[in-house]
Amino acid sequence: MHAVESIAWLLAVALAIVPLARRLGLPSVIGYLMAGILIGPHVAGVIENTTRVVEIADFGIAMLLFVIGLELEPSRLWVLRRSVIGLGSLQVAISTTLLALAFWAWGERPSVSLIAGFALAMSSTAFALQLLTEKRQLTTRHGREAFAILLFQDMAVIPMLAILPLLAGNVPGVASELPDPWKVLGVLTFLFLASRFLVRPAFRFVANSQTPELFTGAALFIIVGVTWLMTEVHLSTSLGAFLAGVLLADSEYRHELEAQIQPFKGLLLGLFFMTVGMTANLPLLWHELHWILLGALALMLLKGSILWGIGRAIGNDSSTAIRLGITLPQGGEFAFIVFTTAVGLGLMDNDLGERLVLVVTLSMALTPIGFWFIERVLEPRWNSREERAYDAIEGEQTHEVLIAGFGRVGQIIARVLRVHQISFVALESSARQVDFVRRFGNKIYYGRPDNLAMLQSAGADKVKLVVLAIDDVEESVRTAQIIRRHFPRLPIYARARDRMHAYRLMDLGVNLVHRETFLSSLEMARDVLVGIGFNTTSADRSVERFREYDEQLLVRQQAIYQNEAELVESAKQSMLELESLFDSDARAARRQASEQEEEDKAG
């Protein structure tokens, strides 16, 4: 079968299997692996010889490493240096050491043990980040720590891929040409100079041509050209692609390059995973399912325990450390690359490589189960444990302001009050948020603001006003109800998530309601008007007129917001009124300008 025919079959099966896997909640990597298994020699037998397909799919690995290099801006690395180098190096070093010792004790050669241990220490960047994004956990503490570890792993795999050909020279019966140090130095020097004095002017020239396909061609040329150069000096093509990305990381064309490469990278990387699935030894899986499954579970348990230990060592609470361990226990896509390369170079037996590929594949497939377990079993228990007693507010409180809710809004208000030496007391209903902000020196009490006893102990009857900065709409409304019932004269300055939240607060007689994105949106609209040609005065006047009208409309619509039909009709009518108002303003401005022009002529 020709390579073109093979790729056509691979694409056809991928278009059917990958969307089905995503619909089932599985990452696309699993879909590609399933598609490869289905079309491979052990199931349908459509493709028997995978050599040519692998050669094409290897460009996907080169593009992946090129994009990783592009993302490693020096400034970004400097900001993340402690978490990336600290957490990442600990995880890789401990996992590699323990796994390598296990393989060595099993009877493998030291070099094989080191390669296998290092490859299995790697977690799946694509897999883990996709799961964290889907679960909206990327910005959580364990999400940020997982990202730092993955970033270090992405960098750590580069030297391993570069060392493998050198190790092959020590394997009896394996011919391996050692790279010429002078040629290597010459190529690296050329790449550095070219990235500074050749590539950027070339990209500028291509960009000025207004021909988008040429930019795509230039991006692909860099990948293919650097890969060819590395092959000529007997270095890893992956290393070359990574270096090319790093050298262009601070280029003004970095984002455009990444956008052009991304579709090819994803597709070719998918082809690589499909070839891994095609070469997976299914008969071996069926015959040794219990051993391979045990290996996958042992790998996940070992890596998860190491990650939990690292999390606890750096000060995470137990639940955050467990979440980190459940996020990154699997093997990763780089393990496939390392095993495939090591087997091809004769550094590892084919049988061992096939078993380890199956272990990594199963570990990836089992990872979503870990997320399910933590969400359905562990988190309900943690939540029940976190119902700890509210903090006792000792002594008589004489603060001027009570802040209910200490999230993004509450913290900014507190900072402003602090610089003006205005005393305040803050209540927050999330124990995790309280523990987090206390690490930064904030004095805050754990307790629900919608609890009357908590409000009384915080001195709600003595403060001048309450800042209602609670993120949860229902908790915010309940707190406003309790304050209005028990402290009717206490002014409330509230933050509203949206228009409906504002209406409900206004129903309770809240003194001042700020919609959280309203003013920032108006400020951005003002900048947009200036950007398209309005002068600053006209833009300011226009935005201010819109603000006044919308605030009046908010008051008018409060009476009908519970009647959807009337509210929709009112919104349509108000839009017509607003357009008419601005049209009248525009005519008046033109008339005034014309009169001024006539006066100038008469003068």
Which domains can be identified in the chain, with CATH numbers? 3-376 (1.20.1530.20), 401-593 (3.40.50.720)
- How far apart CA 363 and CA 542 sit, in angstroms, is 58
Q: Evaluate whether 298 touches 323 at the Cβ level (below 8 Å).
A: no
**pLDDT confidence of 550, banded at 50, 70, 90?**
confident
* Paired tokens of 8: 């056509």
Residue 170 Rama label (left phi>0; alpha psi -120 to 50; beta)? alpha
pLDDT digits (tens, 9 = 90+) for 483-515: 998 998 899 999 888 888 888 888 888 878 888
pLDDT at 585: 66
Please list, residue by residue across 236-259, b when 16 or more beta carbons sit within 10 angstroms of its beta carbon and e when fewer do. Answer: bbbbbbbbbbbbbbebebeebbbe
Kindly state the tokens that stand for 581. 């108002």
Q: Mind listing the pLDDT tens digit for each residue in 552-603?
A: 888 888 877 777 777 777 777 877 777 777 777 667 666 666 666 666 666 5
Q: For residues 312 and 324, what is the distance between their CA atoms, to the nearest angstrom? A: 10
Which of the residue ranges 19-23, 471-475, 582-586 would you say has the lowest mean pLDDT? 582-586
**Percentage of the residues of the chain whose pLDDT score is greater than 90:** 9
User: For the chain, how big is the Rg over CA atoms in Å?
Assistant: 31
Cα three-residue angle 86-90-94, rounded to 5 degrees: 175
pTM of structure: 0.57
- Residue 575 CA neighbour count, 13 Å, CB half: 5
Q: What is the rounded average pLDDT of the residues 433-458?
A: 81
Q: How far is CA 590 from the centre of its chain?
A: 50
Specify the pLDDT at position 174: 45
- Which is nearest to 39 in space by CA: 269, 272, 275, 267? 275
CB 274 within 8 A of CB 36: yes
* 207 contacts 253 by C-beta, under 8 angstroms: yes
State pLDDT tens for residues 261-298: 777 666 766 777 777 777 677 788 788 888 889 999 99
Task: Give the contacts of 216 (CB within 8 A, at least 6 positions apart).
Answer: 260
Name which of 141, 42, 131, 126 is nearest 83 in CA terms.
Answer: 141
Per DSSP, the three-state class of 496 is strand
pLDDT beyond 90 at 99: yes
Beta-carbon contacts of residue 495 (< 8 Å; ≥ 6 apart): 405, 409, 467, 468, 469, 470, 476, 513, 514, 516
Mean pLDDT for all residues in the chain: 78
**Contact at 8 Å (CB) between 251 and 222?**
no
Q: What are phi and psi of 307, to 5 degrees?
A: -65, -40
Q: Give me the helix-helix angle, 125-134 and 318-327, nearest 10°.
A: 130
For residue 435, give the nearest of 307, 326, 315, 321 by alpha carbon: 315
Answer whether 489's CB lies under 8 Å from 516's CB.
no
User: Taking CA 427 as the corner, what is the angle to CA 421 and CA 428, rounded to the nearest 5 degrees?
Assistant: 125
Run of H or E including 34? helix 28-39
